[in-house]
Amino acid sequence: MYVVTAETLATPYTEWRRSKMTRRFIEFFDELIPIDLDKIVAHSNFEEAFSIRRGTRTARALRRELLDRLYDYRSGLLHQGLYPSYRGVGGSLDMKDEVRRGLFFDFAEAAILNFIAAPRVSLIGHPKFE
């Protein structure tokens, strides 16, 4: 729900809003909250929570993979149903789920607060040409 809430900020009310949603999501939030995304990537449990290895990749590459993974969690639940380990909003025995949920909250909070501070649109390209 945190990701869906944040996603509504990046979805313009147009007929073509359903096209290229992942690209729009990634580009919008990479521009809106790069510092906050870097904080999530720097979290000590980031690699375990999202199964993303930092390695020697750039901050931008890590942010974009994180955003892709965030969108995938949202899409997976929406299109494929609940994961076998889904525990709802209640507690979970797996700390990875708890950490991930907290980082989702950090993402949504940063997205909403930064959007309020500097509203913008997420128009990407021209719908007639792309």
Query: Are 67 and 25 contacting, i.e. CB atoms less than 8 angstroms apart?
Result: yes
Q: Where are the domains of the chain?
A: 2-11+31-117
| % of the chain beyond a pLDDT of 90 | 38
Q: Flag whether pLDDT at 119 surpasses 80.
A: no
pLDDT in tens, 56-80: 999 999 999 999 999 888 765 554 4
pLDDT in tens, 96-113: 778 888 999 999 999 999
Q: What is the pTM of this model?
A: 0.69
Confidence label for 82 from pLDDT (cuts 50, 70 and 90):
very low
Query: Are 127 and 19 contacting, i.e. CB atoms less than 8 angstroms apart?
Result: yes
